[in-house]
Structure 1
C-alpha cells in the first residue's frame, strides 16, 4: 500500500480538548490548517472536563481528542467509566504538569519541612484534587505522595475536579492542593492561592502526558484518516519546537475560545516551566519524534499503577492490553511517510524514589513498593 497517496476515508474531523496549555498541538494544527496537505480539516471542540471528553469519544460526537494517557487505559479496562476498546495514536507531549499546595503548606515545604511533616501539620486529612480517577494526574499525585511516605488512599482525600476549576477551588478554600496541567498552577499562584511544590518531570523525567486518542473502531475503519491525523499532529508538534512559535501559540491559546487565560500566565511555563526553573524539565512536543512514539511500556506502566492502588485486580494479560491500545504499527507507518524517526521500544526511566521502570516484570516491579493498596 502506498500510504502517501492513500486518501483519508474521512476529511473533516472533530477533535476534543480541555483548556490546557498542552492542547497546543491541536491549536496549531487547526489555526495553521496543517491538515490540508494531508487531506483533512480540523474542527476544535472544547470540553469542560475529561469526563466529557470520554463521553463524547464514546458517543461519536468527537472523532479523536487530546486526552490523558490514563483516561484511555481507564476506559479500556472499564475502570474509568463504561468499557470500550480504545486507541492511542501518538503521544502529544511530555512533562509540563505540576503539584500545587495551599500557601501555608507550600511555604513550609519551601522552607525545608518534609512533605510528610508539612501535610500532617494541619492535623486532618487533606483534600487534594486530580483530574480523572485513572488519569495521569491521579497517578503522578499518588506516586509523589507515596514516595514521600504519605499513603494517597488513607492519608489524603483525593477528589476529581476539571482543570479549569482548580484555581477557583483553591481560592474558595475547598482544596489543600491539586495536580493538573498548566496554566492552572500559574493561575493559582497569580491569585495567591497556592505555590507549586513539585513538577511531574521530577517524578518521572520526560514522562508521557497527553495522547491523541480515539475509539479503536474509528482507527480500524478509517486507517488512512488516522495516519493523516498523526502526520498532521507531527507537523504541529515539530512547529512547536521553536521558542518563537511557542510565544505565538501562547497568544492564540489565551483567546476565549481556547483557554481564556492571560498570555502572561501561559507563555512562561509553556516556553520553560516556571520561567526556567532548574528543577523542571520543559514541556516537550517533538524533539525529532522522540516525544511521540506510543511505547507499549508506557501504557503498561499505567496498568501497573492501577494494580498498585487496587483499582485493577484479577488475571489479565497486561502486555496484550497495552499492545492492543497503543497503535504502534499505524504510528510507524505515519512517521515513515513523514520522514520522522521512530525511537526504540524499550526505554528505562528512573523515578523520584529511585525505582526503575523498563516495561519488564510487572509483578516484581510492584512487589518493590512499600506503600500500595
Structure 2
C-alpha cells in the first residue's frame, strides 16, 4: 500500500471510529476471525452506499449488529439521494460498494446506464417486495388493474398517461415494462415514462406528475397511507422470487481488495440470515430502518410488508407466500447467473441492446460466484447450489431457466428489438 493510500485508509478508519462513538476499533478488528495473515482484509473501512428502501436492510444491519467487525472490517453505510448518485459514486470510487439495482449494475457493464465500466455483483440482497402503485384518481375512474388501464390508454393519445420508475435499466423499469406489456400496453409507445428517485415517488404522485409508479417499499405502502394510490400489482406477482437489489461494486475494486470483498460479503450475508431468522428480527429491523439516518419514515409503513402482510388499499388483504426474503438458507443471496441473464434478455427485448450479447459470458464476468463461495464458507452453514442456473415461471406463463436466452428474448410478441 502506498503512503497516500495508507493515509486515506487510516483517515477513513478514524472517521468511522468517531461515527461509532469514538470506540477503540483496532483491537476489535485485531481479534476478529479474519484480521491477520494472508486472509486479512486489505481495507479496514468499507463505505457502502444505500438508497432509503426497506431492502437496504442487510447493509444497515451488518454494520449495526457487528457482523462487519466479526469479519475484520468496519462497514460505514452511506445514505444516497438517487440511483444516479449511487452509479456516479461507485464509478468514481467514492463508494467502495453499494446496495444497488441489479439492472443498473448490468447496464453499467454494457455502457447503457452510463459510461461503460466493468462491474461486480457480490451477492443478491433480497427477493421480491416491490410493487406497482396506481393513483387514487384512476381508482375513481374504475381502473384497478392492467386490463382496465389498457382500455383507458387505448382511448387516449399516445403518451397521455405518465408512469414512473427509478432508473432506465433498473429492476423497477423492467417490472413496470413487463406488467404493462402483459396487458398489451407498450411501455415505450403507448405511455410516457419518467425517472423519479424512490423517496420522491409519493410526493410526485400527490401533485399529479404521474398516474402510476413502480418502486420498492415502503413507498407503495406510504402511498396507500396517504390515500393517493393503491397497489395494483406486487413485483412477486409478476416474477415470483425474482432477484432485486444486489451488493455491487467495480470489478477493479474486487481485484485490488479480494479479501475485503469476501469479508464484506460475509458480513452482509450474516446480516441477511439474521433478519430472516424470525419475525421479531424483522420487526427490530423495521424499527431501525424507520429512523432518520436511514429511511426517515414511520415504522408502520415498513413492518407489515416486511412480514409478508399485504393490504392493497382498495379492500384486499393477504399473506403473501412470496414476500420479501433476505436469506432462505442462502438461496436468495447466491449470485445466480440466470438472474443476471434475465435482465439482459429484457434489455434486448426493449431495444436497450441492439444485438444479442454473449449472455452467459456477461453474467459470469459480473456475478462473482467465487467471492460468494468464500464468503459463504466464512459465514458458515450457508448452502451453495449445484448449478449457477435456476428456473422461474413468470405471470404470463413464460418459463425462464437461462438455457436459451436469445430465443427467450425474441419470444415476446410485444417488444422493441432493434
- 1:163-186 C-alpha deviation (Å, 9 max, x unpaired): 000000000111111001000011
Q: Aligned-pair RMSD on alpha carbons?
A: 1.9
1:268 aligns with 2:304: yes
Once the two structures are superposed, residues 289-325 of structure 1 have per-residue CA deviations (whole angstroms, 9 ceiling, x without a partner) of 1100001111111111111001111363222111100
Verify: 1:71 aligned to 2:107, yes or no: no
Q: What do the CA deviations read for 1:101-154 (whole angstroms, capped 9, x no partner)? A: 111324634489634224446666210000000000000100111111111110
Corresponding residue of 2:203: 168
Matched position secondary structure for 1:114: helix
Report the Cα offset of residue 30 of structure 1: 1.4
The counterpart of 1:334, out of the listed 355, 375, 378, is 375
Within 5 A, what are the aligned runs for 1:92-103?
A: 92-103=125-136
Q: How does 1:88-237 map to 2 (within 5 A)?
A: 88-106=121-139, 108-110=142-144, 114-120=148-154, 125-237=160-272
- Conserved? CA contact 2:147–2:183, under 8 Å: no
- Report which stretch shifted further, 185-194 or 99-108: 99-108
2: CA distance between counterparts of 1:30 and 1:3? 16
1:310 is matched with which residue? 351
Secondary structure, in 3 states, of the residue corresponding to 1:198? Answer: strand
* Cα distance, 1:368–1:350 mapped onto 2, change above 3 Å: same
Partner of 1:285: 326
- Tell me, in whole angstroms, the C-alpha distance in 2 between the residues paired with 1:126 and 1:159: 11
Distance 1:42 1:279 in 2: 32
2:72 and 2:271 mapped to 1: Cα distance? 15
Residue of structure 1 equivalent to 2:406: 363
Structure 2 distance, partners of 1:17, 1:120, is 39
* Distance (whole Å) between structure 2 residues aligned to residue 225 and residue 362 of structure 1: 33
Work out the number of aligned pairs and report it: 372
Choose which of 57, 69, 72 in structure 2 pairs with 1:39. Answer: 72
- Whether the aligned pair in 1 keeps the contact of 2:308 and 2:319 (CA below 8 Å) is no
Whole-angstrom CA distance in 2 between matches of 1:301 and 1:162: 24
Q: Is the 8 A contact 1:21 1:266 kept in 2?
A: yes
**Whole-Å separation in 1 of the counterparts to 2:178 and 2:146:** 21
**Scaled by the length of structure 1, what TM-score is found?**
0.95
Deviations 1:53-94 (A, max 9, x none): 000001111100000000000111000011100000000000
> Is the 8 Å Cα contact of residues 49 and 98 (structure 2) preserved in structure 1?
yes
Contact 1:85 1:216 (8 Å CA) reproduced: yes
What is the distance in 2 between the residues matched to 1:198 and 1:266?
18
Deviation at 1:15, TM superposition (A): 0.6
Q: Provide the rounded CA distance (Å) in 2 between the counterparts of 1:119 and 1:78.
A: 33
Q: Select between 106-115 and 185-194 the one with higher mean Cα deviation.
A: 106-115
- Once residues 355 and 234 of structure 1 are traced to their aligned partners in structure 2, the CA distance between those partners, rounded to angstroms, is 31
Retained in 2: the 8 A contact 1:96–1:273? no
Kept after mapping to 2: 8 A contact 1:227/1:330: yes
Q: Does 1:251 align with 2:284?
A: no
Q: 1:37 to 1:27 in 2, by over 3 A?
A: same
Report the 3-state secondary structure (helix = DSSP H, G, I; strand = E; otherwise coil) of the residue aligned with 1:277: strand
Q: Is the contact made by 1:90 and 1:292 (CA closer than 8 Å) also made in structure 2?
A: yes
Give the number of the structure with larger relative contact order, counting CA–CA contacts within 8 Å between residues 6 or more apart: 1
SS of 1:255's partner is coil
Structure of greater Rg: 2
Q: CA deviation at 1:277?
A: 2.4
- For residues 240-288 of structure 1, the C-alpha deviation after alignment (integer angstroms, 9 at most, x for no partner) is 1111011111111111110011111111111215266245621000011
- Does 2:391 match 1:348? yes
* More moved, 6-15 vs 117-126: 117-126
State the partner residue of 1:323. Answer: 364
Please say which of residues 326-335 and 196-205 is displaced more in the overlay.
326-335
Q: Measure how far apart 1:338 and its partner are.
A: 2.4
CA contact (8 A) 2:217 2:302 kept: yes
